[in-house]
């Protein structure tokens, strides 16, 4: 009765209404940004009086925006590689190891995900001041790596737990060395876990802003830090253009993830 859409009766109307309104609430701000980024009004009128590409031109003409875009990308790329590597090793240890305290260690590795990020940001700011790491590439990478690692460990551990280890054993029985078996049998077997670890690690670093605000220097800023700084001054449509590019990136990654999921099913 309550789980059969066709037999919900009058309740169905209420459900459709609320779902529709919430869907609009979730979608409209995103569409609005995209529209405003092509709108000619500097004062963010809606509907825009005309259409233009000048905010995108302003964006691409500004070396600071490009620099921060590049900075974000480089940091996220390095973080992704390290996060998957370290996460892969840790996941092997955590899922197959026999040492004591594995559960506690796993909980420790996941804690940065649940801790209020502002606490970590302030703590790292103080700690990195002493090590002269604030405003450095290495500082950004280390800080973002701690945020990204839990996502890697969750994705890869889950994949490893689902992976039938007898296949790896079979490879060894057939004469492969344990390392060879891991590289040629186990890694391809858990590739979906590795891919989602990479995607989530990249996004965790790419979207990270609170720590980056504390970590940034005038010379080295990630894209979110520059957006945050600009937003505090004015609501320029250039931000709408940046945001639209980020939304496009998100939609692209979603499509990619959907593609791999379909790939996994077939």
Partner 1 sequence: MTVTDLTATERPHTTSSAPRRRGRGLAPVLPALVLVSFVFVIPVLALLLRSVLEPEPGLQNYAAFFASTTYLKVLGNTFLVAGTVTVVTVLLGFPVAWFLAIAPSVWSRLLFAIVILSMWTNLLARTYAWMVLLQRTGIINRTLMNLGLISEPLPLINNLVGVTIGMTYIMLPFMILPLHATIKAMDPAIFQAAALCGASRWQAFTRVMLPLTGSGIAAGALMVFVMSLGYFITPALLGGTANMMLAELIAQLVQSLLDWGLAGAAALVLLVITLAIYMIQLRFFGFGETRS
| Near partner 1 in 65-94, by CB under 8 A | 86-87, 89-90, 92-94
The minimum distance between CB 26 and partner 1, in angstroms, equals 4
Query: Taking a C-beta distance cutoff of 8 angstroms, is the pair 155, 168 a contact?
Result: no
Residue 204 interacts with partner 1 (CB under 8 A): yes or no: no
Residue 135 interacts with partner 1 (CB under 8 A): yes or no: no
Q: How many CB atoms lie within 10 A of CB 204?
A: 23
Q: Coil, strand, or helix at residue 171?
A: helix
Residue 183 interacts with partner 1 (CB under 8 A): yes or no: no
99: CB partners within 8 A, 6+ apart: 93
159: CB partners within 8 A, 6+ apart: 190, 192, 193, 194
Location of structure tokens 């876990």: 193
Query: Based on CB atoms, which residue is closest to partner 1, 155 or 220?
Result: 155
Residue 5 interacts with partner 1 (CB under 8 A): yes or no: yes
Residue 39 interacts with partner 1 (CB under 8 A): yes or no: no
Query: Based on CB atoms, which residue is closest to partner 1, 116 or 218?
Result: 116
Query: Based on CB atoms, which residue is closest to partner 1, 66 or 256?
Result: 256
Query: Based on CB atoms, which residue is closest to partner 1, 233 or 266?
Result: 233
**Cα angle, residue 77 at apex, residues 76 and 80 outer, rounded to 5°:** 80
- What is residue 39's DSSP assignment? B
Q: Looking at 49-57, 58-66, 183-191, 226-234, which segment touches partner 1 (CB under 8 A)?
A: 226-234
The minimum distance between CB 73 and partner 1, in angstroms, equals 14
Separation between Cα atoms, residue 204 and residue 220, nearest integer Å: 19
């Amino acid at each position: 009765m309550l789980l059969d859409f066709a037999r919900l009766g009058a309740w169905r109307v209420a459900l459709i209404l609320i779902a529709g309104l919430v869907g609009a609430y979730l979608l409209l701000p995103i569409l609005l940004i995209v529209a405003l980024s092509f709108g000619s009004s500097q004062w963010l009128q809606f509907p825009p009086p005309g259409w233009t590409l000048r905010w995108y031109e302003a964006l691409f003409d500004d070396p600071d925006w490009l620099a921060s875009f590049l900075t974000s990308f480089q940091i996220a790329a390095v973080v992704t590689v390290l996060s998957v590597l370290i996460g892969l090793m840790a996941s092997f240890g955590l899922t197959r190891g026999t040492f004591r305290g594995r559960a506690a260690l796993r909980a420790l590795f996941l804690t940065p995900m649940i801790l209020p990020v502002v606490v970590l940001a302030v703590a790292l700011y103080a700690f990195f001041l002493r090590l002269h790491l604030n405003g450095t590439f290495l500082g950004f990478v280390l800080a973002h790596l701690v945020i990204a690692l839990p996502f890697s460990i969750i994705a890869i551990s889950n994949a490893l737990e689902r992976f039938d280890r007898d296949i790896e054993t079979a490879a060894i029985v057939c004469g492969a060395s344990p390392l060879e078996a891991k590289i040629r049998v186990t890694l391809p077997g858990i590739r979906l876990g590795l891919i989602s670890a990479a995607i989530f690690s990249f996004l965790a670093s790419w979207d990270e802003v609170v720590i980056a605000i504390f970590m940034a220097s005038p010379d080295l800023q990630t894209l979110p830090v520059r957006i945050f700084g600009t937003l505090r001054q004015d609501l320029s449509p250039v931000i709408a253009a940046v945001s639209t590019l980020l939304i496009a990136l998100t939609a692209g990654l979603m499509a990619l993830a959907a593609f791999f999921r379909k790939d996994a099913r077939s």
